[in-house]
Amino acid sequence: MTEPADASTVPAPDAFAAPELFINRELSLLEFNDRVLAQAQDESVPLLERLKFLCISSTNLDEFFEVRVAGLKQKAELLDTPSEADNRTPSEVLRAISERAHTLVDKQYATLNDEIIPALEAQGIRFLRRAEWNPEQRAWLAEYFEEELLPVISPIGLDPAHPFPRILNKSLNFIVALDGTDAFGRKIRHAVVQAPRALPRIIQLPADAAGSGTHDFVFLSSIIHEHVGDLFPSMRADGCYQFRVTRNSDLYVDEEEVDDLLRAVEGELPGRRYGDCVRLEVAHNCPQELSDYLLARFLLTREDLYQVNGPVNVNRLLSLQGTVDRPDLKYPAFTPRLPNALSPSGDLFAEIRAGDVLLHHPFDSFLPVIDFVRRAGSDPKVLAIKQTLYRTGPDSAVVDALVEAARAGKEVTVVVELRARFDEADNIELANRLQAAGAHVVYGVVGYKTHAKMTLIVRREPDGLHNYVHVGTGNYHPKTARLYTDYGLMSCDHALGNDVHEIFLQLTSLGKVSGLERIVDAPFRMHDAIVAKIGREAEAAAAGRPAWIVAKMNSLVEPAVIRALYAASVAGVQIDLIVRGICCLRPGVEGVSENIRVRSIVGRFLEHTRVFHFAGDGDPELYMSSADWMDRNFFRRVEICFPVTSRPLYDRVVRELGLYLADNSGAWQLGENGRYTQVRPAADEPVVSVQKRLMEGPG
């Protein structure tokens, strides 16, 4: 641990710009996915939950290729020069990604084949291979092929009249090697079979079929393999191998050149299915000749080829969660609690007036947030409701409440972010629905995503108009509120309400926000404010006064903030960072970051809260935010960072941060080398799981 520096000799943050001090963000993201996969390998996790974590790691990797790898490939083609703090070119990063991702994929399939499937079989949940089918099962599956598959499948023999078909992003396909001549006397060597999208990828055998158990399944790919010869009469199928191609799925909309953002995003959505190819997955036994043939068709290289021993789309196994009714193989049921301050039958606005209310989801119920909007819609004293929506889901009780409020004659204004990645279609649908109900719908600010989470309710009371607000770290999405950890603050604090009101005015009228008293906003003030608060801690430490920072977030990427943290560490500030996903800061570097510790918590719930706690030179400050410490959040998004000023709530959050730092069950420690080591309790230490502890009650 470095000694505190003299105030006059504390180096400027710019002194810490050496590329080796920064971990590459893409490789850090792959490290996070490895930690998710470790949950699938953890025998203390219920079996079907282990399968779920395996599927999540597969889905995460899909999105990584669709967005991050796709973007790097574009950069490498246009201008292959370094653009990140680690000073690597896109081509260098792509080579490193290929090496790390291949290792990760091999580990995924080893986990599936060597751990998950045998454990499921031991519990009577079987995936039957073709060689294991008995005559009765074979007959049932042949009938399934005839009745369900054959009418909708379209095999395509490849010749000049039948060119290689367009392959849908992440769809299941088969390349078939053929021998012989067709009905027209043509010799065709290859064919492509595309699996129907409408059919499930896992078929459950009926329990009354001879030899079948209650939970016996067959992969759709196995049925197609078995009967592929039936699709090419008079020819012989010498081989049938599944493959899947991943495409660039990031939307591009030139916001400066479009008149109607909604119509522009709608128009771009279909193209997402057929973007440039970035990855090819093939069966592990596919001959190299056929793999090379596919790579050539998709303009890919050997680095982009992933040979997999199992289904090419592992995340389709997630359907087993809903099919298999085995509560003993899942996490125990958990009912979120309702805070004592809120009574379902009480006067919600009076309860908020009595004092700020803090909700920590999913440990605290999300129902009060829905109730907040719903009651406002039916309250004759409420004049207006304003809300930001980033992700809400297609069937949202929050949107239902806003629709009812608009129909009841309230002034309802909703800022809908159409470009919430992979939720664009749902957001377009809800925007149309809100407009049909009479709500005012705007799409934020051109060039900036509206990522702030806030609701404003304007209510007339005997002493005048009052603003009631809900501000939070997470989306207004009831489903993810049960899966993600997030904080939400309900308040009628005058200054906080005025700040939220000012930000809504900016979003709708595009005027400049006047001075904000409580909220620190992006893209205007947040970055400078965070760097300044870190700098204040450095100055205090250098002067020998107590100084510390505890910050919890999803990602830490922005170079200037990282450099400020390095300078603070050299000055003697004790810094604890709880970073779930990407972390580009390298802790433990001698003479630079010896006072910085970085940990990641991975568990039943996805850690999503953003909380920043500063010693404040004797006047501690606690902030919550919708923003991570990333370039995009500071400079290209509308975000809010708000203080927790209630002393009881402050004390509660500080205790909960302490639990996150004490966790030795789901915690991983980041090393100087950029790799993570799982934290284990010492022999004489009790096991601490922050999520289990918070399920029992507030921190």
Phi and psi at 86, nearest 5°, equal: -80, -5
CB 420 within 8 A of CB 391: yes
Give the relative orientation of helices 424-436 and 397-407 as an angle to the nearest 10 degrees.
20
Residue among 604, 503, 507 at smallest CA distance from 50: 604
Residue 76 exposed, middle or buried by CB count within 10 Å (0-12, 13-18, 19+): middle
**Which three-class secondary structure state does DSSP give residue 24?**
coil
Per DSSP bridges, beta strands 637-643 and 449-450 are parallel
DSSP bridge pairs for 408: none
In which residue are the tokens 């099919």 written?
Answer: 323
Report d(CA 274, CA 590) in Å as an integer: 48
Q: Quick one: tokens of 674?
A: 């950029």
Quickly list DSSP for 90-113: HHHHHHHHHHHHHHHHHHHHHHII
DSSP bridge pairs for 361: 486
Residue among 583, 582, 594, 574 at smallest CA distance from 661: 574
Residue among 571, 537, 577 at smallest CA distance from 557: 577
Report d(CA 610, CA 487) in Å as an integer: 8
Is 451 noted as a catalytic residue in this protein?
A: yes
Give the relative orientation of helices 90-111 and 70-78 as an angle to the nearest 10 degrees.
160
Residue among 581, 580, 583, 586 at smallest CA distance from 601: 580
| Chain mean position to CA 661 | 23
Q: Cα separations (Å) of 118 from 40, 51, 110, 127? A: 13, 12, 11, 10
DSSP bridge pairs for 280: 245, 305
The catalytic position among 225, 451, 470, 477 is 451
Residue numbers annotated as active site? 451
